[in-house]
C-alpha cells in the first residue's frame, strides 16, 4: 500500500556528529517531529568535545569525560546511527554516498563534519606525525608516547606544527603533563586570532614552560627523527603534532555546492546557497553574511537555529536567521588548572577562570548524559 503524500515519512540525514548535530539530536529526543526519520552518519560511536581536549592531554580529565556518546543520543532521539564516513552527495538522486556502504536517501540533509588538521602535502606527515583532530588517534599516540618516555624508550622531544590557539594550548597542556622539550613551528604569525595583550601573556607562559618557537618557518618534511624545515634546519622530535589551522574536508569539492575556500557557503538560515535541501553548520560551513573564525562556540549557538530551520523546511514554523556574535569570551587553559580569558581585547587570568571553564564544559557534557 502506498503512503499518502500527507503522511509520507520524510528523511532527515545528519552528516557528522559535531556539536550542532549532537544538540539537535538532544532536542529531538525531547520534542520528536512526526513523520520524520532521522539518520546520523558518523565514523565513530562517539564524538569528542574538543574544548576539554587540552585538559585531557594535561591529565585533568579521563578520556571518557570528553566523549559525547552518539549511540545513546541517537537511540534517545529515535534516530538510526550509521557508523561510517560520508564521502559524497548525489544531489540529483538526493543520496548521501557512504564509504563501503550503500548510499542513504534524504529529503533534507545537514553537514556538521568539522575540519581536518591533517597536512597530507607535507612529505612524511602521514607516517610520522599525528593530528590534533580526530581525537582518537592523538589520544592513543599521546598515551603511548608518555609511557615510552617514562620507560626511557623515547626522547622527551615534541614538535608542534601550527602556532594558533589550539597548538599553543596543547603545547602548554603537554608541558604540564610531562617534562619535555617542545618546539612550535609556525609559518606566519603566532596566535593570529588573539589581541596583542593575550598574545603577549601566552608567549610569556610558553617561555616559562620552556617552549621554543620557530617562526616564520615552513615544514619541508616530517621524518622518523622529527621535522626538517625548508631552510634545512632539523628539529629533533619523537612526537610530531599537527595543529595547523582549519582545513576543509576534500570531498566537499565534489558536491557541486558553492564553497568558500573549501567550506560550504551558507545563508543566514544555515542553508547552502546552492541547494536549499542541504544545511551546513559548525566548522565545515562558511557564513557568507557574517564570516567568523572557526570556533566551537558558533557550532553550539547554531543548534537552535538549525533545528528551527529544519522544522520550517518540513513545514512547521518560520525560518530563523542566525546572526553570530562579533566576539566571544575565549577561555584558554594554561596547562595547569589556570586559564586566560580574552574578550574585546581585555585579558584576565587565574585559577578561578579555569574553574569557570571547567563548569561550562561540565554543564555542556552533562546535558548529553541526563
Please give the radius of gyration of the chain, using alpha carbons only, rounded to the nearest integer.
Answer: 21
**Three-class DSSP category at 271:** strand
- The reply to whether 283 sits near ligand FAD by the rule CB under 6 A is yes
Closest approach, Cβ 351 to ligand FAD, in A, equals 17
- The reply to whether 294 sits near ligand FAD by the rule CB under 6 A is yes
If you search the block for the grid coordinates 571553564, which residue do you land on? 357
Q: Which stretch binds ligand FAD (CB under 6 A): 178-186, 191-199, 289-297, 317-325?
A: 289-297
Residue whose CB is less far from ligand FAD, 52 or 228: 52
Among 159, 166, 198, 222, which residue interacts with ligand FAD (rule: CB under 6 A)?
Answer: 166
- The reply to whether 170 sits near ligand FAD by the rule CB under 6 A is yes
The interface mask with ligand FAD, positions 312-351, x = CB under 6 A, is: -------------------x--------------------
Helix, strand, coil abundance in the chain, percent, nearest 5? 35, 30, 40
- The reply to whether 15 sits near ligand FAD by the rule CB under 6 A is yes
Cα separation, 10 vs 352, in Å, equals 48
DSSP labels for 332-366?
Answer: EEESEEEEEEEETTEEEEEHHHHHHHHHHHHHHHH
Q: List all residues 6 or more positions away from 4 whose beta carbon is below 8 Å from its beta carbon.
A: none
Closest approach, Cβ 5 to ligand FAD, in A, equals 31
157 forms beta bridges with 181
Q: Which stretch binds ligand FAD (CB under 6 A): 17-25, 186-194, 270-278, 336-344?
A: 17-25
Q: Is 19 exposed, middle or buried (0-12, 13-18, 19+ CB in 10 A)?
A: buried
Among 44, 107, 212, 221, which residue interacts with ligand FAD (rule: CB under 6 A)?
Answer: 44
**Beta carbons within 10 angstroms of residue 91's beta carbon:** 18
Residue whose CB is less far from ligand FAD, 174 or 235: 174
Among 66, 89, 132, 160, which residue interacts with ligand FAD (rule: CB under 6 A)?
Answer: 132
37 forms beta bridges with 11
Q: Name the DSSP class of 243.
A: -
Among 296, 324, 335, 341, which residue interacts with ligand FAD (rule: CB under 6 A)?
Answer: 296
Cα separation, 265 vs 272, in Å, equals 6
Q: Which stretch binds ligand FAD (CB under 6 A): 162-170, 212-220, 254-262, 317-325?
A: 162-170
**Three-class DSSP category at 120:** coil
Residue whose CB is less far from ligand FAD, 228 or 368: 368
Cα separation, 344 vs 251, in Å, equals 36
Residue whose CB is less far from ligand FAD, 123 or 268: 268
- The reply to whether 248 sits near ligand FAD by the rule CB under 6 A is no
- The reply to whether 131 sits near ligand FAD by the rule CB under 6 A is no
Cα separation, 69 vs 111, in Å, equals 19
| Widest pairwise Cα distance in the chain | 73
Residue whose CB is less far from ligand FAD, 32 or 250: 250
Among 13, 14, 19, 313, which residue interacts with ligand FAD (rule: CB under 6 A)?
Answer: 19
Q: Is 221 exposed, middle or buried (0-12, 13-18, 19+ CB in 10 A)?
A: middle
Interface of this chain with ligand FAD, residues 82 to 121, rule: CB under 6 A: 85-86, 112-114
Closest approach, Cβ 304 to ligand FAD, in A, equals 14
Among 20, 183, 238, 272, which residue interacts with ligand FAD (rule: CB under 6 A)?
Answer: 20
Among 41, 104, 184, 264, which residue interacts with ligand FAD (rule: CB under 6 A)?
Answer: 41
Helix spans in 100-219 (H): 125-128, 135-150, 165-177, 196-208
Closest approach, Cβ 82 to ligand FAD, in A, equals 9
- The reply to whether 157 sits near ligand FAD by the rule CB under 6 A is no
Nearest to 48 by CA among 161, 169, 138: 138
Cα separation, 45 vs 148, in Å, equals 28
Binding site for ligand FAD (CB under 6 A): 15-20, 41-44, 47, 50-51, 53-54, 85-86, 112-114, 132-134, 166, 169-170, 249, 282-284, 294-297, 299, 331
Amino acid at each position: 500500500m502506498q503512503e499518502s503524500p500527507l503522511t509520507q515519512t520524510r528523511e532527515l540525514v545528519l552528516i557528522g556528529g559535531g556539536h550542532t548535530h549532537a544538540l539537535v539530536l538532544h532536542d529531538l529526543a525531547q520534542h520528536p517531529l512526526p513523520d520524520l526519520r532521522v539518520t546520523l552518519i558518523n565514523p565513530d560511536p562517539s564524538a569528542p568535545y574538543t574544548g576539554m581536549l587540552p585538559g585531557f592531554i594535561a591529565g585533568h580529565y579521563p578520556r571518557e569525560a570528553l566523549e559525547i556518546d552518539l549511540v545513546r543520543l541517537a537511540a534517545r532521539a529515535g534516530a538510526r546511527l550509521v557508523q561510517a564516513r560520508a564521502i559524497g552527495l548525489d544531489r540529483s538522486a538526493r543520496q548521501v554516498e557512504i564509504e563501503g556502504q550503500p548510499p542513504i536517501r534524504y529529503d533534507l540533509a545537514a553537514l556538521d563534519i568539522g575540519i581536518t588538521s591533517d597536512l597530507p602535502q607535507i612529505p612524511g606527515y602521514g607516517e610520522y606525525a599525528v593530528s590534533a583532530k580526530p581525537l582518537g588517534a592523538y589520544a592513543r599516540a599521546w598515551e603511548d608516547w608518555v609511557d615510552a618516555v617514562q620507560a626511557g624508550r623515547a626522547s622527551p622531544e615534541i614538535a608542534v606544527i601550527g602556532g594558533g590557539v589550539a597548538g599553543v594550548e596543547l603545547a602548554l597542556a603537554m608541558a604540564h603533563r610531562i617534562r619535555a622539550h617542545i618546539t612550535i613551528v609556525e609559518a606566519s604569525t603566532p596566535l593570529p586570532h588573539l589581541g596583542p595583550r593575550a598574545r603577549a601573556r601566552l608567549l610569556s607562559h610558553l617561555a616559562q614552560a620552556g617552549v621554543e618557537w620557530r617562526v616564520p618557518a615552513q615544514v619541508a618534511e616530517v621524518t622518523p627523527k622529527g621535522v626538517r624545515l625548508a631552510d634545512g634546519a632539523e628539529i629533533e622530535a619523537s612526537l610530531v603534532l599537527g595543529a595547523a589551522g582549519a582545513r576543509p574536508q576534500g570531498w566537499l569539492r565534489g558536491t557541486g555546492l558553492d564553497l568558500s575556500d573549501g567550506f560550504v557557503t551558507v545563508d543566514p538560515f544555515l542553508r547552502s546557497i546552492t541547494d536549499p535541501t542541504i544545511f551546513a553548520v559548525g566548522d565545515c560551513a562558511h557564513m557568507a553574511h557574517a564570516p567568523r573564525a572557526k570556533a566551537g562556540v558558533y557550532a553550539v549557538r547554531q543548534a537552535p537555529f538549525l533545528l528551527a530551520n529544519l522544522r520550517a523546511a518540513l513545514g512547521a514554523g518560520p525560518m530563523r536567521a542566525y546572526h553570530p556574535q562579533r566576539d566571544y569570551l575565549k577561555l584558554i587553559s594554561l596547562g595547569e588548572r589556570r586559564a586566560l580569558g580574552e574578550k574585546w581585547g581585555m585579558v584576565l587570568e587565574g585559577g578561578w577562570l579555569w574553574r569557570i571553564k571547567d563548569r561550562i564544559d561540565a554543564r555542556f557534557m552533562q546535558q548529553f548524559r541526563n
